[in-house]
């Protein structure tokens, strides 16, 4: 069963320095039909104007993933982390018992475009932690790359939940069959290009919830970029 969440139907927030599209209910945007999907709680597509960003604020008991599409995102937090996230990199912050952080566009004259993703954790009250890795070399093969998982296999970043997160930044057209189980939940989020999931066409900004299947056939266009979550 596939349910499509069209890009144009997402929540919209305009704050001058920030333009955001919300796949699920977030902040002032509320839709009881879209409160999340399995443990996937937030997918915000954010565009931050140059030299602006989110001032220091707190989180707890949430797995927060930042995926930069274009630009640079500067991240600082109360764990002592001070880093810049660039395209091809994935960052995970486990908020656990509590962490404070800020996120700024590291460029003064260009917009930074990124996805902010929240996943509810398997265990609460853990010690806050952080992980970041570049997958730029892996993406050059135009395949689905495992970028985050509970066990950190195949060089992926560890995450405090039974989730496999894959990313594709295609140089060429491609196709992949993702094997899963009927009790699992699959979410596909398209960033760029054209993607089909079991024959259902998806375009930039679209999402798709897929349930009660043993596998998903994914096909994509040249220069497509998208993320796939395999969730409990």
Angle at 95 between CA 91 and CA 101, to 5 degrees: 70
Would you state the pLDDT for residue 98? 98
Q: How far, in Å, CA of 175 to CA of 161, rounded?
A: 27
β-strand partners of 29: 26
Residue 140 is predicted with a pLDDT of 84
Structure tokens at 195: 């993607």
Q: Report the share of the chain in percent with pLDDT over 90.
A: 98
Return the CA Rg of the chain: 17
CA 84 to each of CA 91, 110, 112, 185, 205: distance values in angstroms, whole numbers, following the listed order: 10, 15, 12, 32, 25
Residue 61: pLDDT above 90? yes
User: DSSP string of 45-83?
Assistant: EEEE-TT-EEEEEEE-S-EEEEEEEES-EEEEETTS-EE
Regarding beta strands 82-85 and 112-119, do their DSSP bridges make them parallel or antiparallel, or are they unpaired? unpaired
Confidence of residue 188 (pLDDT cuts 50, 70, 90): very high
Q: What is the pLDDT of residue 157?
A: 98
User: Cα–Cα distance between 71 and 133 in angstroms, integer?
Assistant: 16
* pLDDT band for position 142 (cuts 50, 70, 90): confident
- Mean pLDDT over 142-150 rounds to 95
Residues 64-81, mean pLDDT to the nearest whole number? 97
The total of other beta-carbon atoms located within 10 Å of residue 118's CB is: 20
pLDDT, one tens digit per residue, over 193-217 is: 999 999 999 999 999 999 999 999 9
Can you give the residue ranges of every domain in the chain? 2-231
Residue 59 to residues 20, 62, 85, 99, 134: CA-CA distances in angstroms? 19, 7, 19, 6, 24
Q: What integer best gives the mean pLDDT of the chain?
A: 97
Q: Among all chains, which residue has been given the structure tokens 């266009």?
A: 221
> Is the predicted pLDDT of residue 141 greater than 90, yes or no?
no
Task: Tell me the two tokens of residue 180.
Answer: 């899963």
- H or E stretch at 136: helix 136-139
- pTM, whole model, 2 decimals? 0.97
C-alpha to C-alpha distance for 198 and 97, rounded to whole angstroms: 40
What is the distance between the alpha carbons of residues 96 and 169, in angstroms, rounded to a whole number?
A: 30
Kindly indicate whether the domain formed by 2-231 is annotated with CATH number 2.60.120.10.
Answer: yes
The least confident of 110-114, 139-143, 184-188 is 139-143
9-53, pLDDT tens digit by residue?
Answer: 999 999 999 999 999 999 999 999 999 999 999 999 999 999 999
Q: What is the DSSP letter of 171?
A: S
């Amino acid at each position: 069963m596939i349910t499509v969440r069209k890009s144009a139907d997402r929540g919209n927030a305009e704050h001058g320095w920030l333009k955001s599209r919300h796949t699920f209910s977030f902040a002032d945007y509320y839709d009881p039909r879209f409160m999340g999907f399995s443990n996937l709680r937030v997918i915000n597509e954010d565009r931050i104007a140059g030299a602006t960003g989110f001032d220091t604020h707190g989180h707890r008991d949430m797995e927060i993933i930042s995926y930069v599409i274009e630009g640079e995102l500067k991240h600082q937090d109360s764990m002592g982390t001070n880093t810049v996230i660039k395209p091809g990199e994935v960052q995970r912050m486990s908020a656990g018992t509590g962490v404070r952080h800020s996120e700024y566009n590291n460029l003064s004259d260009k917009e930074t475009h990124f996805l902010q993703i929240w996943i509810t954790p398997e265990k609460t009250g853990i010690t806050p932690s952080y992980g970041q890795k570049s997958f730029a070399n892996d993406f050059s093969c135009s395949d689905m790359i495992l970028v985050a998982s509970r066990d950190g296999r195949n060089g992926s970043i560890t995450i405090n939940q039974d989730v496999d997160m894959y990313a594709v930044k295609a140089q060429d057209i491609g196709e992949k069959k993702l094997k899963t189980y009927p009790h699992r939940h699959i979410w596909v989020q398209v960033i760029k290009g054209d993607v089909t999931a079991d024959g259902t066409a998806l375009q930039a900004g679209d999402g798709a919830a897929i349930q009660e299947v043993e596998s998903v056939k994914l096909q994509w266009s040249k220069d497509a970029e998208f993320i796939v979550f395999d969730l409990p």
